[in-house]
Amino acid sequence: MSYPYQINSFEQYKEMYARSVQQPQNFWADIASNFKWRRKWDKVLEWDFNNYNVAWFKGAKLNITENCLDRHLEKLGNKPAIIWEPNSPDEHHRILTYNDLYQKVTQFANVLKNNGVKKGDTICLYMGMIPELAIAVLACARIGAIHSVIFGGFSAKSIADRLVNANAKFIITCDGAFRGGKDIPLKSLIDDALESVDFIEKVIVCTRTRTPVSMLKGRDVWWEDEIKKVETLGMAPAVAEEMDAEDPLFILYTSGSTGKPKGVVHTCAGYMVYTNYTFVNVFNYKQGDVYFCTADIGWITGHSYIVYGPLSAGATTVMFEGIPTYPDAGRFWDLVDKHRVNILYTAPTAIRSLMSYGEEPLKGKDLSTLKVLGSVGEPINEEAWNWYHEKIGKGKCPIVDTWWQTENGGILISNLAGVTPDKPSWATLPLPGVQPCIMDEKGNEIEGPGQGNLCMKFPWPSIIRTTWGDHERCKQTYFAAYPGHYFTGDGAMRDENGNYKITGRVDDVLNVSGHRIGTAEVENAINLHAGVVESAVVGYPHEIKGQGIYAFVIYNGTHNADDENLIRKDITATVTRIIGPISKPDKIQFVTGLPKTRSGKIMRRILRKIAENDVDNLGDTSALLNSEVVEDIKKGKL
Ligand code: WTA
């Protein structure tokens, strides 16, 4: 497979970028013409950022799985599509060629149909990182069902909230998932979620850990039994459903600064074109390269850059079930060595964590196949960048620092490996088709070098279409702060050459180990603890995680009142129960009051400074209703 739209020089990047701004419709139409369509579009783009509405490739008909599978079979049928590496190095890895993947996806698509799943239904996937997760995702897309993958670190309550919001009728899960030394009882968590949800018609359970599970008659079925059924019936491979360009492909929940997580909706055509285009260009993928993205498919990075981007490009994508430090901190490097990985895409938090083990885990590992390194999810600090560059890339591999968000579908700002220059800790230049701008506090655009809030002036093909079931929320969240612009929620700096450096979130969203966490959500969970009166959650710099979660809590319970550590454990258990283990506070400080303005709003700015240990710079506290609490909070700082 060749990529006529692959950019090969800095000069060519500049030309393409200019064309993408001057003639966006022709630019994207040319790229889109390299895909398999059942019917071509009537119009490339329709958009309105004021009354938010966007449509790409309107009128086109396609199925994304024909682009990820069918079209590769003739030439790449025997090429590995997925190389799967299990959690334990003692278990054998699995290789699925494009032929194998096609067979499994079309077969499981039949299983879904046999179980009553129809085009337009939403299906929740709560599985570990096994090939069956990728198969299930693609099987949904094959028949036009909307998948909503939930990361394994979310609680039963979070699952239930998502099932209700997505109005899901079907669930695909596993008995359990192996992650490092742990065995996460996925089906049992689903059972807990279903205590409060009564509209689920079928739960399909795939065997992985052989953890005993309860199977409810009429509702729960085994994946393996269902496969046998379609085999016995001798069903032909499921034909791909014809989808409209703007039919929803998936929903993925993500946290914002207020309220419950929102279901970000991506649609078929634009998402396909953009993830493919960015995969091929950012990583400079060449046929034959082995590509390894260490993300989980429960997050957007896994959707776009383990499944859809690489597979639509006919690439070989490595999928890893485990964690970087199991059984030891050399596991990533074992994988690179064993599978001859050429492109490695991971997160700064993993790099920092592995860095802390020193060079011992690197000994004897052959990393010479590596050509390109990538970073995603949070700002990469220079120390981590340098270690990655020297120790892993041996000074010869470009590092792509890819900035983007769940709502973006694909990478928006990044250098292109070996094509445009890298700059440590800078995401550098926008991809062709992406038109960023920096706004000041008053909503005026800053020209030239400067710093402010990062917005987008023009849509790209995989921009969020809506928040599931609540379009108004989508408009308010992304298009209200700067009318006529998409607001990212991030701050950024721009240098004289047009390079961008992302400075982090400017709203109440934390980035903990590359996971997005809403402070309001964590506060709501803490406040559900019986003894808690009120709480405020902020982030603070954390050496490995990037940011840690710092909670200030007013407690008036009597139970365990003489043992603060016990209360802390109870509060942590409450958060784990309500949201999941990924949102556990790192620090809990008990306080007698929270600094408030006269209108009763918590002054987070002050709490943030205290959590960051920047107590000499609290600024003016005279506007506070209760400035006396600030001294007490400072004294009690953890
Ligand atoms: C942050 C992950 C700096 C940013 C793909 C963004 C980054 C949020 C980078 C989105 C980067 C992501 N440099 N910050 N290269 N990449 N971020 O939705 O704050 O899980 O808004 O998508 O991660 O997180 P999300």
What domains, with CATH codes, occur in the chain? 513-636 (3.30.300.30)
**128 pLDDT above the threshold of 90:** yes
Between CA 31 and CA 38 the distance in angstroms is: 16
Could you tell me if the CB of 406 is within 6 A of ligand 1? yes
Determine the pLDDT at residue 308: 99
| Closest to 469 (Cα-Cα) out of 620, 262, 257 | 262
The alpha carbon of 301 and the centre of ligand 1 are apart by a number of angstroms equal to 10
311, two tokens: 């597979």
With cut-offs at 50, 70 and 90, classify the pLDDT of residue 142. very high
Between CA 164 and CA 258 the distance in angstroms is: 19
CB 264 within 8 A of CB 303: no
Phi, psi dihedral angles at 136 (to 5 degrees): -65, -40
Residue in 282, 293, 502 to alter for ligand 1 test, most ligand atoms within 8 A of Cβ: 502
Determine the pLDDT at residue 559: 85
Atom of ligand 1 nearest to the CA of 515: 20
Could you tell me if the CB of 404 is within 6 A of ligand 1? yes
Between CA 177 and CA 477 the distance in angstroms is: 34
Atom of ligand 1 nearest to the CA of 488: 21
CB 402 within 8 A of CB 411: yes
Query: DSSP letter at 617?
Result: G
Determine the pLDDT at residue 621: 82
What contacts 295, CB < 8 A, 6 or more positions away? 301, 302, 305, 306, 345, 346, 347, 376
137, two tokens: 């995702």
Determine the pLDDT at residue 281: 98
**617 pLDDT above the threshold of 90:** no
**189 pLDDT above the threshold of 90:** yes
**500 pLDDT above the threshold of 90:** yes
Helix-helix angle 131-143:98-114, to 10 degrees: 60
**Helical ranges in 554-602 per DSSP H:** 564-578
Mean pLDDT score across all residues of the chain: 97
125, two tokens: 């996937």
Atom of ligand 1 nearest to the CA of 516: 20
* pLDDT, average across residues 552-573: 93
* pLDDT, average across residues 167-185: 97
Q: What is the largest CA-CA distance in the chain?
A: 77
**615 pLDDT above the threshold of 90:** no
**Helical ranges in 156-222 per DSSP H:** 156-166, 186-193
Which tens digit of pLDDT belongs to each residue from 353-412?
Answer: 999 999 999 999 999 999 999 999 999 999 999 999 999 999 999 999 999 999 999 999
Atom of ligand 1 nearest to the CA of 504: 19
ipTM of the complex: 0.99
* pLDDT, average across residues 272-291: 98
**206 pLDDT above the threshold of 90:** yes
% of the chain with per-residue pLDDT over 90: 95
What contacts 636, CB < 8 A, 6 or more positions away? 589, 590, 591
Which tens digit of pLDDT belongs to each residue from 213-255?
Answer: 999 999 999 999 999 999 999 999 999 999 999 999 999 999 9
The alpha carbon of 440 and the centre of ligand 1 are apart by a number of angstroms equal to 21
Determine the pLDDT at residue 166: 98
% of the chain with per-residue pLDDT over 70: 100
Strand partners, 267: 248
The alpha carbon of 378 and the centre of ligand 1 are apart by a number of angstroms equal to 5
**56 pLDDT above the threshold of 90:** yes
Helix-helix angle 604-611:628-635, to 10 degrees: 20
* pLDDT, average across residues 583-596: 97
CB atoms inside a 10 Å sphere around CB 116: 11
**618 pLDDT above the threshold of 90:** no
**422 pLDDT above the threshold of 90:** yes
The alpha carbon of 372 and the centre of ligand 1 are apart by a number of angstroms equal to 20
Could you tell me if the CB of 254 is within 6 A of ligand 1? yes
The alpha carbon of 391 and the centre of ligand 1 are apart by a number of angstroms equal to 24
Between CA 345 and CA 354 the distance in angstroms is: 14
Atom of ligand 1 nearest to the CA of 401: 15
Between CA 426 and CA 419 the distance in angstroms is: 16
CB 495 within 8 A of CB 485: no
Could you tell me if the CB of 401 is within 6 A of ligand 1? yes
Helix (H, G, I), strand (E, B) or coil at 632: helix
Between CA 526 and CA 523 the distance in angstroms is: 5
Between CA 83 and CA 101 the distance in angstroms is: 11
* pLDDT, average across residues 49-53: 98
What single-letter amino acid sits at 457? K
Determine the pLDDT at residue 580: 96
* pLDDT, average across residues 104-111: 98
